[in-house]
Amino acid sequence: MKSRIEGAGTAPLRRASRILVVEDEPGMVLALEDALRGEGYEVAASADGIAGQKEAATGRHDLLILDVMLPGRDGFQVCQNLRAAGLRTPILMLTARSSTIDTVMGLRLGADDYLTKPFEMQVLLARVQALLRRAEAARAEAVQADPGRVVHAPLPAGSYHFGAFRLDTETMQLLKGDVPVPLNVQEFRLLEVFVRNPNKVLSRDALLSEAWGYDTETTTRTVDVHLAWLRQKLGEKDFPRHLITVRGFGYRFVPEP
Ligand code: CA
C-alpha cells in the first residue's frame, strides 16, 4: 500500500490515522471503509484472521477494528497473539452478539473497546475517535514527561510535511511539491531522525547513534558534513531555515520556520 496524502493528514508533521479492518463480511467491510474514509482515515482491510494478524503485526496501523467471527483464526485468538507479540495498537472488537462472555473475553485478551453488532456507524466512529485520541494523549504524555528525550522509534510509514517539503517514509523519498529531491540513504536517515524529533536540540552524538548506529567508525565530523549536504539539497546552504545550528550543542530541526 502506498502512502497517500488525505485531507485530514496534510497539516505539518501530521498524517491521516491508519485503520486496519479485519472482517470477512464484504458488506460490512464496504460500510466501514466508506464511513472511515469519509472521516479522513486511511483504511486497509483483511478478510480473514491469519492475513489480518500478519498485516496488523507490521505495526503500520494506528487502530485495529477486529471482528470476532473470522475464517482462519477468530478475533479473540488474533487479539491474544498480537498482544503476546507486544503490539500495543488500540483494538476495537466487533462481537456478533450481545454476549457478556464475548465482551469480557475480548477485553481480557487485550482489546481496548468493543461494539456489539449491529451498531450505529456514528457510534463506531465516536469510539474510533476516542481510542485514537487516547493513544495520542498517552504518546504526548510520554514525551512531556521528558521533553529532551530523543524519539528512537522510526516514524510510522507515511507522509510528513514540513515547509514546502514532504518526506515519504514508505518510498523513502523527499519531495518538494511534486519534484523528488534526490537523497542518498544516509541523508534520508538523518532527515528522518530530525523529522521524528521536531524542535529538539540534538547533539552530534545523538544524531550519529540515531542515523548511523553505534558500531560505525564515523565521527561527529561526519554528521556536520552530511548536514551540510542535506542543507544544500533543501536549498538552505547559506540561510538555514529548517536545520538550525545550536552552537555548542548540535542541531535543531524546525518544521515551520
Ligand atoms: Ca465476521
- Assign 3-class secondary structure to 155-204: CCCCEEEECCEEEECCCCEEEECCEEECCCHHHHHHHHHHHCCCCCEEEH
Query: Distance, CA 25 to ligand 1 centroid (Å)?
Result: 6
Span 107-144, pLDDT tens digits? 778 899 989 899 999 999 999 999 999 888 776 665 55
Query: Distance, CA 75 to ligand 1 centroid (Å)?
Result: 9
**Is 0.75 surpassed by the pTM of this model?**
no
Residue spans of the chain under pLDDT 70: 1-14, 97-103, 139-148, 214-217
Query: Distance, CA 8 to ligand 1 centroid (Å)?
Result: 29
> CA neighbours within 13 Å on the CB side: how many for 68?
22
Query: Distance, CA 68 to ligand 1 centroid (Å)?
Result: 6
Query: Distance, CA 71 to ligand 1 centroid (Å)?
Result: 8
Peptide bond into 257 cis (omega under 30): no
Given the DSSP bridges, would you call strands 63-67 and 91-95 parallel, antiparallel or unpaired? parallel
d(CA 51, CA 48): 6
Span 171-197, pLDDT tens digits? 889 999 999 999 998 899 999 999 999
Query: Distance, CA 119 to ligand 1 centroid (Å)?
Result: 14
Query: Distance, CA 114 to ligand 1 centroid (Å)?
Result: 14
- Determine the pLDDT at residue 219: 77
Query: Distance, CA 52 to ligand 1 centroid (Å)?
Result: 12
